[in-house]
Chain A
Amino acid sequence: MPEQKTIAATGNIFVAEAMRQCAPDVMAAYPITPQTTIVEEYAKFVAQGKVHTEYVTVESEHSAMSACVGASAAGARVMTATSSQGLALMWEELHIASGMRLPIVMANANRALSAPINIHCDHSDVMGARDTGWVILFAETAQEAYDNTIVACRVAEDPDVLLPVMTCLDGFITTHSIDRGQTIDDETVKAFVGERKPDYALLDTANPVSHGSFAGLGGPFFEFKRSQRDAIDRSKPVVERVGAEWSKIVGRPFGLIETWGLEDADVAVVVIGSSAGNARHVARQLRAEGGTKAAVVKIRCFRPFPAAELAAALKGMKAVAVLDRAESFGAEGGPLFLETRSALYDLERRVPVVNYIYGLGGADVKLELMRRVYSDLSDIASGAAAAEGLRYLGAR
């Protein structure tokens, strides 16, 4: 196993380091809290001559993603990072990047969207981008943010995929907390990600092609979108395969979903990102106290959505709580709840599912709040309470 170095750093520094090791040809970026230290650190690598990357400073996120689209179509390996309003401003280009099948890798520091103004963590930004055709990975820790970045590079450029990948980490909680983790040597990452070999590079003047052309009324456009669906469906086994390969090198788990305590659990919590650890911590405490036997299911890959894996994990549970760090105003619950309940629909035995909206705008995910979720699940499992109503965890 290659030598790994144990360091203490913020999630953003881990991401910047992974990007340096993947050695993109182009980075076009615009700063926004709490993402800024990623592109700032990367700018230092450029200034110090540690990378060959063409660093394009742009005047907005709209331009950042536009430059990424152009550079990626030209045949370059391209990376960037954004957050919140920045991601929102990229809305047009997010669709163009996936529609042009460009393997751009972008880190997103999950942050609330205005109004009211807030710079702290929730998943409103990325959940708003969930239907843009990007593969979406989430990190629980700085370590996972590092691993996801490297895996994303391979997945995006896989000939069976050719789609942009967003790697998300929780704003401040993961981006700015100093955490212990490991980095691996440059050569190992270089060998793992390889070189981008585009089939239809715009700069390949010997073989001229058009990108992003007009596909008019009906037919070709419709067929194209169908092929895009096939591509993201195909990305699922690729994420699994590449993740497993990376897992073998570094000795850390990588799954579409990651489960804890499933074997003998009566109830389960489904969660994304940094709060998964809080859920496991409290589940462990409850077991030690002889209380509820709970499992925790963490979603690491949100797009493509691991519906079958989730159904297999949650089958037989007496009650399931889905924790959403984003609203879907006017819907029956948050985005993760809608997808999870749908994934469970085809099970023979109905699993009661209850939805909690939590931690919006960085509201602290206190352990006592997590305890309340398990207590509610216990009541639902015993038949003392019904699994109904959208619950706002800890909101006054």
Chain B
Amino acid sequence: MQQLTEIRWHARAGQGAVTAAKLVADTALELDQYIQAMPEYGPERMGAPIQAFTRLSAAPIEIHCNIEDPNVVVVLDESLLPIVDVARGLTADGTIIVNTCKTPEEIRRELGIDHGHVATVDASGISLATLKRDIPNTPMIGALAKVTGLFTLEQVADHLRKSFGKKFTAEVVDANVESVTRAYREVAAA
């Protein structure tokens, strides 16, 4: 892992971006990484655009501020693309992952960027098929793991079982693992 990986999450409140930011941090902690995970706290109400942040590093992390130049951007809701500049500050070789049925090429055109990598996955579709609800956060972690190589599928699934196992039924945990696995396999990058 490089010295510092900065991940910015864009979502609408209620889609689980804060949980995802934390899950990724917790997964990295199990690999003995240093971590930070925080939402940008504001007057949230269901459906409002929100940001959350995750930092991962092999060395202690000492900065405390929002992420302006992310290595990775994860967009949980494609309806944000016309209203939020999600690609803002994306590093030259950074990656942006969007929950959408569109292709990476189409999203790249919409974003109007010619640098970095663009990946797409139908996380909502996967979530509806596996969890019977549109909660795209866990599949997006599967896509993130695949595209960035930060984690193996097993590492994500193991942590999910451990973490969700405390709170949810075996059925819900299995459905989440299934959605992560499908997103890991189905994510398309360009």
Give me the interface of A with B, judged by CB distance under 8 Å. 6, 8, 34, 119-120, 170, 172-174, 176-180, 274-278, 280-281, 364-368
Cross-chain contact A366 with B29 (CB below 8 angstroms): no
Of the candidates B22, B39, B61, B63, which one forms a contact with A367 in the assembled complex, judged by CB atoms under 8 Å apart? Answer: B63
Nearest CB of B to A349, in Å: 31
Cross-chain contact A176 with B38 (CB below 8 angstroms): yes
Residues of chain B with a CB closer than 8 A to A280's CB: 62
| Contacts A/B (CB < 8 Å), 21 sampled | A8-B26, A173-B38, A176-B39, A177-B36, A178-B25, A178-B36, A179-B35, A180-B29, A180-B34, A180-B36, A274-B64, A276-B62, A277-B61, A277-B64, A278-B63, A365-B64, A365-B65, A366-B66, A367-B63, A367-B65, A368-B68
Is B37 an interface residue, CB under 8 A from the partner? yes
The CA-CA distance from A51 to B38 in the complex, in Å, is: 29
Give me the interface of B with A, judged by CB distance under 8 Å. 22, 25-26, 29, 34-39, 41, 60-66, 68
Once A8-B35, A179-B35, A180-B35 are accepted as A-B contacts, the answer to whether A174 and B41 lie under 8 Å apart by CB is: no
Nearest CB of A to B7, in Å: 13
Q: Which residue of B lies closest to A33 (CB)?
A: B41
The CA-CA distance from A365 to B66 in the complex, in Å, is: 8
Residues of chain A with a CB closer than 8 A to B41's CB: 34, 119-120, 172, 176
Cross-chain contact A277 with B63 (CB below 8 angstroms): yes
Once A8-B25, A120-B41 are accepted as A-B contacts, the answer to whether A364 and B35 lie under 8 Å apart by CB is: no
Q: 4 other contacts beyond A6-B29, A277-B63, with CB at 8 A cut-off?
A: A177-B36, A177-B38, A277-B64, A365-B65
The CA-CA distance from A8 to B64 in the complex, in Å, is: 16
Once A178-B25, A178-B37, A180-B34 are accepted as A-B contacts, the answer to whether A277 and B66 lie under 8 Å apart by CB is: no
The CA-CA distance from A8 to B36 in the complex, in Å, is: 8
Residues of chain A with a CB closer than 8 A to B22's CB: 178
Once A8-B29, A176-B41 are accepted as A-B contacts, the answer to whether A281 and B63 lie under 8 Å apart by CB is: yes
Cross-chain contact B68 with A178 (CB below 8 angstroms): no
The CA-CA distance from A8 to B28 in the complex, in Å, is: 10
Cross-chain contact B66 with A364 (CB below 8 angstroms): yes
Cross-chain contact B62 with A277 (CB below 8 angstroms): yes
Interface centre among B34, B35, B38, B68 (most CB of A within 10 A): B38
Interface centre among A8, A277, A280 (most CB of B within 10 A): A8
Q: Which residue of A lies closest to B33 (CB)?
A: A180
Residues of chain A with a CB closer than 8 A to B64's CB: 170, 173-174, 177, 274-275, 277-278, 365
Nearest CB of A to B6, in Å: 12
Nearest CB of A to B31, in Å: 12
The CA-CA distance from A274 to B61 in the complex, in Å, is: 12
Nearest CB of A to B149, in Å: 22
The CA-CA distance from A279 to B39 in the complex, in Å, is: 22
The CA-CA distance from A276 to B64 in the complex, in Å, is: 9
The CA-CA distance from A174 to B36 in the complex, in Å, is: 10
Residues of chain B with a CB closer than 8 A to A180's CB: 29, 34-36, 60
Residues of chain B with a CB closer than 8 A to A274's CB: 64
The CA-CA distance from A152 to B8 in the complex, in Å, is: 36
Residues of chain A with a CB closer than 8 A to B36's CB: 177-180
The CA-CA distance from A172 to B62 in the complex, in Å, is: 16
Residues of chain A with a CB closer than 8 A to B37's CB: 8, 177-178
Residues of chain B with a CB closer than 8 A to A176's CB: 38-39, 41
Q: Which residue of B lies closest to A142 (CB)?
A: B36
Nearest CB of B to A93, in Å: 29
The CA-CA distance from A277 to B36 in the complex, in Å, is: 13
Nearest CB of A to B41, in Å: 5
The CA-CA distance from A173 to B25 in the complex, in Å, is: 16
Nearest CB of A to B170, in Å: 25
The CA-CA distance from A170 to B64 in the complex, in Å, is: 10
Nearest CB of A to B58, in Å: 12
The CA-CA distance from A177 to B65 in the complex, in Å, is: 11
The CA-CA distance from A22 to B187 in the complex, in Å, is: 49
Q: What are the nearest 8 A-B pairs in CB distance?
A: A277-B62, A177-B38, A178-B37, A274-B64, A8-B29, A281-B63, A364-B66, A173-B64
Cross-chain contact B62 with A281 (CB below 8 angstroms): yes
